[in-house]
Structure 1
């Protein structure tokens, strides 16, 4: 299936990607935003954007030198993970192809931390090793107790899935900015319209 995308660039050295879902693998799934829109927003638009995600997520400490084929593989894996996440939310059976892909990727060698002469931890990985680490995180998340904390953002346009660790599981959106602010603003406007209609005088007919 072809997906239309919006291209997003990073300027002034700012981070290209956001990490607000409570688990790197969910942030990885969230690199395709507003999935129900006619034109979703694709954040993985180039091999360089994939390298940035690996680095900014903390998965690796150095760029993984991605090629276009690595980007294609990453997007295929991302969509397989998304199918598993959605099935978990709905309590449905997993798509067999998606499950096989995630498990096969998890079986591959993953990123391994190393110790430097300066007594610091450093992780370098090939794109395939980095993707294997993401697949393993998927297995750990969906096969563990945190799977019960999965929620989809309540703002209809947003399709980000996050972990709700709030007291009483009362969190309603993936992040305050922009989703929480927009939901609150919409509720405020609706409340004001209701108040205005209630305050309007009722005209009686002659």
Structure 2
């Protein structure tokens, strides 16, 4: 499974692969404000380092959890930025479902200031002893959040914002950036909500 694509298990016990389409959107999958904190994955700095080693940041140049430097203060900053995503991303998606416990909002001056202040130098590359490209380590949280903020800006600050989606499946609130060529992705995954939609249509056309 490619970095950034996550294997998720729903409350029904069914697992599926979900690709959020961007690193910024992927951060939402790691947990969230109450009541979404029941899905929290980043309890410790070590959790965050391991999660990042499987993220979109590792798509081009893989790295390990040991290559990431995360302190408790770093983890708090990551969660602060992630909370912003929970509040502003749904507000940019037409017809987005209401998320329990989440007050969605349009981007405020304070939000813009936080995003702009977070932009910074992303994780860097260098050449190893054999002249091959590798990730320069350690990777800092400043670099991680800098990459996430730039990713978010590239989407919401352009016409690409129209490609922000929330899954159309019943009782599914997974959000993603549609990277498909035609821009018509509707589901978190064809393995889950897309398949349920097809089954529902079939049963409608062929009642028993």
TM over 0.5: yes
Max Rg structure: 1
Name the structure 2 match of 1:44. Answer: 42
Partners of 2:22 and 2:56 within 8 A in 1: no
Name the structure 2 match of 1:81. Answer: 85
Please list the CA deviations of residues 141-177 of structure 1 after superposition, one character each: whole Å capped at 9, or x if unmatched: 2123322211111124322222334465432212123
Task: Indicate whether 1:130 and 2:144 are aligned.
Answer: yes
Aligned equivalents of 1:38, 1:142: Cα separation in 2 = 23
Pick from 183, 186, 190: which aligns with 1:176?
190
Aligned equivalents of 1:17, 1:166: Cα separation in 2 = 15
Task: Indicate whether 1:93 and 2:91 are aligned.
Answer: no
Tell me the SS of whatever aligns to 2:93.
helix
Name the structure 2 match of 1:105. Answer: 118
Aligned equivalents of 1:20, 1:177: Cα separation in 2 = 12
Tell me the SS of whatever aligns to 2:42.
coil
Tell me the SS of whatever aligns to 1:80.
helix
Aligned equivalents of 1:82, 1:38: Cα separation in 2 = 10
Partners of 2:74 and 2:141 within 8 A in 1: yes
Q: What is the TM-score when the length of structure 1 is the normalising length?
A: 0.70
Tell me the SS of whatever aligns to 1:30.
helix
Name the structure 2 match of 1:25. Answer: 24
Tell me the SS of whatever aligns to 1:154.
coil
Q: Count the aligned residue pairs.
A: 178
Q: What is the TM-score when the length of structure 2 is the normalising length?
A: 0.69
Name the structure 1 match of 2:99. Answer: none
1:80 Cα offset (Å): 1.2
Q: 1:41 to 1:100 in 2, by over 3 A?
A: same
Q: 1:38 to 1:183 in 2, by over 3 A?
A: farther
Aligned equivalents of 1:182, 1:71: Cα separation in 2 = 37
**Which residues of structure 2 form unaligned runs of 5+?**
7-17, 96-104
Name the structure 2 match of 1:155. Answer: 169
Partners of 1:83 and 1:95 within 8 A in 2: no
CA RMSD of aligned residues (A): 3.2
